[in-house]
């Protein structure tokens, strides 16, 4: 995975020690974060983690209790929403039902000093951008959910904000349409060069659209990184678990080499061998070993050359088309999920319920997370 880098990008937003409290309750806790120009940035987290509060502070609907929000080099804590070069697209789209698509898009522009012709050009440009050219005369109720979503997007971008905030913009769409719309959003974001900050609780959505993702939990930002980095190198069990499937195995460290440790997790199974920078570890230390299911091979025999090898019994198989996930109980009782592509499954003999299997993985396949 490559770290996110746009050599020309300047910082657009800075949160400087931002805390937001509602009474005694801390919704956002001492946040420091920079978002760059032209980024598609996702705030990801479970319900109630504070992501909407963060977005509302950017929009100007909430004021930080402590700290500063800087937009384009200027502190904006006290700048009212309509004086910020920021627009927000709501989940409900909030279109005017009695106005046509054209008038919905033109609405905000007509309240500026912009000339009539220039407004017409701009609306036309927005219609083209969102592929709504043929729908200009329709009213919102004559549109599909996906088209309404595009009108809302066109309207939010009409005044060319520096920053567009999107609060669960695709939540009302069904899964297939949502996936298509994610690609449209990415395309539109790239064409306009506007910085997008999207709030979502859908990790796949965040991973698909975003240049970088901030994973939040209970008011804290746990990690900010590219989707690849978040998936491959989560810094905590929470992040590993929140993004995709992961096996978490708790155990105790024994340093076995200059760059190698063993993790004992049961009295009967062999310890896990892991390549790590041993500097941060000591004998007897409690750790969590995190390994993705697709890093673990399943075989009916013991011939896989990878050094971590452990015997178990298949208790469940989830067939997912291109892949299958095997739920395997190790002899010590620990459950482990392993995922394999079904191309390989066909090449090998079919594995089925109750089979005794060997799980194997390399020393670098998992991450050792300090508890
Ligand atoms: P969701 O995905 O459910 O929208 P969220 O991560 O966006 O969740 P926020 O809406 O930011 O969460 O809320 C964070 C916490 O702050 C919640 O526990 C919420 O109850 C609380 N909160 C938000 N706004 C207020 C308010 N105006 N007064 C009191 N508490 C609030």
- Three-state DSSP class for 133? helix
How far does residue 61's CA lie from ligand 1's centre (Å)?
13
CB neighbours of residue 291 within 10 Å: 22
Distance CA 128, CA 125 (A): 5
Average pLDDT, the chain: 93
Dist. CA 212 → ligand 1 center (Å): 23
Per-residue CA distances from 31 to 15, 64, 115, 156, 207 (Å): 6, 10, 42, 27, 22
Nearest 5°: the CA angle 81, 168, 11 is 55
Ligand 1 neighbourhood includes 51 CB (under 6 angstroms): yes
* Centroid of ligand 1 to alpha carbon of 137 (angstroms): 38
Ligand 1, atom 23: closest residue by C-alpha: 53
pLDDT in the model for residue 173: 85
Residue whose CA lies nearest to ligand 1 atom number 24: 53
For domain 247-370, give the CATH number.
Answer: 2.40.50.100
Checking if the pLDDT of 275 tops 90, the result is yes
Tell me, rounded to whole angstroms, the distance of Cα 44 from its chain centroid. 5
ipTM over 0.85: yes
| Ligand 1 pocket member 27 (CB < 6 A) | yes
Q: Whose CA is nearest to atom 12 of ligand 1?
A: 48
Cβ atoms of 68 and 146 closer than 8 Å: no
Q: Look up residue 154 and give its two tokens.
A: 């066109």
58 phi, psi to nearest 5 deg: -65, -40
Task: Check if 130 has its Cβ closer than 6 Å to any atom of ligand 1.
Answer: no
* Axis crossing angle, helix 145-157 with helix 101-110, rounded to the nearest 10: 20
Distance from residue 94's CA to the centre of ligand 1 (Å):
21
Residue position matching structure tokens 């001492």: 30
Ligand 1 pocket check for 200: Cβ under 6 Å? no
Q: Which residues of 5-20 are buried (b: 16+ CB within 10 A; e: fewer)?
A: eeeeeeebbbbbebbb
Mean pLDDT, residues 70-85 taken together: 94
pLDDT at 253 over 70: yes
Q: Please state the atom number of ligand 1 nearest to the C-alpha of residue 22.
A: 29
> 268 CB contacts (<8 Å, ≥6 apart)?
331, 332
pLDDT digits (tens, 9 = 90+) for 148-195: 999 999 999 999 999 999 999 898 888 998 999 999 999 999 999 999
Element (H, E) at 328: strand 323-330
Taking the C-alpha atoms of residue 87 and residue 195, their distance in angstroms, rounded to an integer, is 11
Q: What are phi and psi of 321, to 5 degrees?
A: 85, -90
**Closest CA to ligand 1's atom 2:** 47
Please list the helix, strand and coil fractions of the chain in percent, rounded to the nearest 5, in that order: 30, 35, 35
The pair of structure tokens assigned to 326 is: 């095997």
Q: In the chain, where does the domain assigned CATH 3.40.50.300 lie?
A: 11-242
Report the percent of the chain where pLDDT is more than 70.
96
Nearest by Cα to 71 from 115, 23, 96, 36: 36
Ligand 1 binding pocket includes 53 (Cβ within 6 Å) = yes
Q: Which CATH number fits domain 11-242: 3.40.50.300, 3.40.50.720, 3.90.550.10, 3.90.650.10?
A: 3.40.50.300
Residue pair 300/349 in contact by the 8 Å Cβ criterion: yes
pLDDT at 326 over 90: yes
Output the residue whose Cα is nearest ligand 1's atom 3: 47
Distance spanning both ends of the chain, measured CA to CA: 25
Q: Is the CB of 49 under 6 A from ligand 1?
A: yes
Is the per-residue pLDDT at 304 higher than 90? Answer: no
Residue 301 structure tokens: 């025999």
- Cβ–ligand 1 distance for 57 under 6 Å, the answer no
47 CA distance to ligand 1 middle (Å): 8
Look at residue 347 in the predicted model and tell me its pLDDT. Answer: 56
SS3 33: strand
Residue 328 CB less than 6 A away from ligand 1: no
The phi, psi pair for 317, rounded to 5°, reads -130, 125
Alpha helices in 168-273 (DSSP H): 175-192, 203-209, 227-232, 237-242
Residue in 19, 20, 21, 27 to alter for ligand 1 test, most ligand atoms within 8 A of Cβ: 27
Kindly state if the Cβ of 22 falls inside 6 Å of ligand 1: yes
Q: How far is the CA of 53 from the centre of ligand 1 (A)?
A: 6
Pocket lining: 65 vs ligand 1, CB cutoff 6 Å: no
CATH 2.40.50.100 domain range(s) in the chain: 247-370
List the one residue out of 262, 261, 259, 263 whose CA is nearest residue 250.
263
Total-model pTM: 0.90
């Amino acid at each position: 995975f490559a770290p996110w880098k746009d050599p020309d990008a300047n910082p657009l937003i800075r949160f400087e020690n931002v805390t937001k409290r509602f009474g005694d309750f801390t919704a956002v806790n001492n946040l420091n974060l920079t978002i760059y120009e032209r980024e598609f940035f996702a705030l990801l987290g479970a319900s109630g983690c504070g992501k909407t509060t963060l977005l509302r502070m950017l929009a100007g609907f909430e004021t930080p209790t402590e700290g500063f929000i800087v937009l384009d080099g200027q502190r904006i804590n006290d700048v009212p929403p309509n004086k910020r070069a920021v627009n927000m697209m709501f989940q409900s789209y909030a279109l005017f039902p009695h106005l046509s698509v054209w008038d919905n898009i033109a609405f905000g522009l007509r309240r500026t000093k912009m000339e009539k012709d220039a407004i017409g050009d701009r609306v036309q440009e927005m219609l083209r951008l969102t592929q709504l050219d043929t729908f200009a005369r329709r009213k919102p109720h004559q549109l599909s959910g996906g088209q309404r979503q595009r009108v809302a997007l066109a309207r939010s971008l009409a005044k060319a904000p520096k920053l567009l905030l999107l609060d669960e913009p695709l939540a009302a769409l069904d899964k297939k349409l949502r996936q298509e719309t994610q690609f449209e959003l990415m395309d539109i974001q790239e064409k306009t060069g506007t910085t997008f900050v999207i709030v979502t609780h859908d990790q796949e959505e965040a991973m698909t659209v975003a240049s970088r993702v901030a994973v939040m939990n209970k008011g804290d930002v746990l990690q900010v990184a590219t989707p690849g980095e978040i998936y491959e190198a989560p810094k905590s069990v929470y992040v590993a678990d929140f993004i995709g499937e992961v096996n978490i195995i708790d155990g105790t460290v024994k340093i076995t080499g200059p760059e190698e440790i063993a993790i004992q997790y049961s009295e009967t199974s062999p310890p896990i061998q892991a390549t790590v920078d041993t500097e941060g570890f000591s004998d007897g230390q409690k750790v969590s070993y995190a390994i993705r299911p697709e890093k673990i091979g399943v075989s009916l025999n013991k011939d896989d050359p990878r050094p971590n090898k452990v015997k178990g019994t298949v208790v469940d198989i989830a067939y997912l088309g291109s892949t299958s996930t095997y739920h395997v109980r190790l002899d010590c009782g620990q459950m482990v999920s392993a995922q394999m592509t079904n191309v390989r499954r066909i090449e090998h003999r079919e594995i089925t319920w109750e089979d005794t299997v060997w799980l194997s993985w390399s020393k670098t396949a998992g991450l050792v997370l300090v508890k």
